[in-house]
Amino acid sequence: MSSVHGTDVEYVADLAGIFVFAITGALVGVRKRFDVVGMAVLAEITALGGGVLRDLVIGAVPPAAFRDLGYTAVPLVATALTVAWHPHLERIRRTVLVLDAAGLGLFSVAGATKALTFGLGSPAAAALGVTTAIGGGILRDVLAREVPSVLHDRQLYIVPALLGATTATIAYGLGARGYLVTLVTAALAFGVRLLAIRLRWRMPRARGVQDRT
């Protein structure tokens, strides 16, 4: 692939993550009663925000999102599907959570891998993997006037992303690369996120602080 995409693995993982994250962004627009334009903006921000931040940090400028039509077109397709099918998507909320978990795993691994290919060390690459996975969601929540969900990470959102990104950097350092490694490391983050949802794993609060009723 060209330098815009990095590698086939990174490009496919990017587009897959972009699609599922764009759907979650568009659904927030539905819940906020935004029009189609507002939904598309949230979809684009959710899907591309983290990747743009990563590319700016590693010096991959202009960011890939501004050089490849596929990156901006996929969220628009996701928005159109959400406009037409959002009642069904809302009814299958758990399926949407599964898609979001898949996007989290894919983005954390793809982000870390791209940072490594640009010469960053493992700790920085893992941090940028997490940024890629959660950056768009933070921007989405700010635009939608909500407290970013990562600030009350009660269902282990950052932890699976960090696990996937860290595992990917370790594998990369050991020379293990390619589709299989990407799928395995992304699946690890995906699995932990699903277990957190299923088993209601929670991060602790400060002593004496309780959930609001």
DSSP string covering 37-50, please? HHHHHHHHHHHHHH
Q: What is the pLDDT of residues 141-179, one digit of tens each?
A: 899 988 887 777 666 889 999 999 999 999 999 988 888
Assign residue 207 a region: left if phi > 0, alpha if psi is -120 to 50, beta otherwise? beta
C-alpha of 190 from chain center: 11
Residue 206 lies in a domain: no
Structural domain count of the chain: 1
Residue 1 lies in a domain: no
Closest CA to 132 of 165, 100, 107: 107
For residue 203 the two structure tokens come to 């991060």
Residue 210 lies in a domain: no
Q: What is the sign of the dihedral through the CA atoms of 52, 30, 13 and 112? A: positive
Report pLDDT for 201: 82
Residue 211 lies in a domain: no
Report pLDDT for 15: 85
From the CA atom positions of the chain, what is the Rg in Å? Answer: 17
Predicted confidence band of residue 4 (pLDDT cuts 50, 70, 90): very low
Residue 3 lies in a domain: no
Residue 183 lies in a domain: yes
Q: What is the pLDDT of residues 48-101, one digit of tens each?
A: 999 999 999 999 999 988 998 989 999 999 999 999 887 776 566 677 778 788
Question: Domain of 151?
Answer: 8-199
Q: How far is CA 177 from CA 18, 20, 126, in A?
A: 22, 24, 16
Residue 208 lies in a domain: no
Residue 163 lies in a domain: yes
3/121 Cα distance (integer angstroms): 20
